[in-house]
Amino acid sequence: MPTTLDHPALVELLQRAYSAERAAAFAYIGHAGSLRDPAAKVAVRQIEEDEWSHRRQVLVIMRQYGIPISRWYEVKYYAIGRLISASCYVIGWFMPYFFAGRLESGNVCEYFVMMQRFHRLGITEHDTVLYEMGIKEKEHEVYFLEQIKHSRLLPFFERIFSWGRRKSANDVDLDRKYAVPESYRYCASYSGDPETKAEQPVKR
């Protein structure tokens, strides 16, 4: 197993995901704080804890390969997370749920793309943890959509932001999930990543 990763795009994706998970956690602190319903607060706080857990898991992988934490991403996403957290108290009920769902929808593919990039280096040992994080992000997306699916605002926002009942940023279906060995098939046409293809994982 290599001690460093000869794949700059994978290194950058790990660094960005590590910092972005903290931004998401901060956002959910504000989101939960802005809610009145106790059950909804508990649900969003659990999602916040999932994001902290993902940040810890990504850091374990980064340390394994000597990947430094990006100071730029830490500062950038810290500011973004705090801003979103504060905004939840003033932008109403619908938008925190909508934009959280849209964010989680995009985060799903980050972890499956990481898996595919590791495969190109002949590394499959992280498949399970990356799979679990990707599926957990999909569960978050589904939860947030469920809260707003009957809102009259959703069709309008879906047309503008390309996420909602009919549109998603990933192709994961929780009712018909691939098993871990087949999950390289997810996000094969991930937007913005021309390298990504549905490749078989390297056999060892």
pLDDT, position 182: 93
Total structural domains in the chain?
1
pLDDT, position 111: 97
Closest by CA position to 23, among listed 58, 45, 71, 55: 55
pLDDT in tens, 58-92: 999 999 999 999 999 999 999 999 999 999 999 99
Instruction: Give Cβ neighbours of residue 38 (< 8 Å, ≥ 6 apart).
Output: none
Cβ(132)–Cβ(155) below 8 Å: no
Which residues constitute the domain of residue 71?
8-185
- pLDDT confidence tier of residue 42, bands split at 50, 70 and 90: very high
199 lies in some domain: no
Residue 89 C-alpha from the chain's centroid: 23
**Cβ neighbours around 129 below 10 Å, total:** 17
Cα dihedral value 21, 22, 28, 34, nearest 10: -160
The mean pLDDT value for 8-28 works out to 97
Give the gyration radius of the chain's Cα atoms: 17
Write down the number of H helices and E strands in the chain.
6, 0
Closest by CA position to 82, among listed 139, 157, 19: 19
Cβ(186)–Cβ(112) below 8 Å: yes
Q: How far apart are CA 21 and CA 59, in angstroms?
A: 11
Cβ(101)–Cβ(163) below 8 Å: yes
192 lies in some domain: no
pLDDT, position 193: 55
pLDDT, position 189: 76
201 lies in some domain: no
pLDDT in tens, 85-129: 999 999 999 999 999 999 999 999 999 999 999 999 999 999 999
pLDDT, position 196: 52
83 lies in some domain: yes
pLDDT, position 190: 64
The one-letter amino acid at 13: L
65 lies in some domain: yes
Residue 202 pLDDT exceeds 50 = no
pLDDT, position 201: 47
pLDDT, position 195: 58
- pLDDT confidence tier of residue 204, bands split at 50, 70 and 90: very low
Residues in the chain: 204
Tokens found for residue 176: 């018909």
163 lies in some domain: yes
Decide: pTM greater than 0.85. Answer: yes
pLDDT in tens, 123-171: 999 999 999 999 999 999 999 999 999 999 999 999 999 999 999 999 9
51 lies in some domain: yes
- pLDDT confidence tier of residue 1, bands split at 50, 70 and 90: low
203 lies in some domain: no
The mean pLDDT value for 11-26 works out to 97
Q: What is the CATH number of the domain that holds 34?
A: 1.20.1260
Residue 2 pLDDT exceeds 70 = no
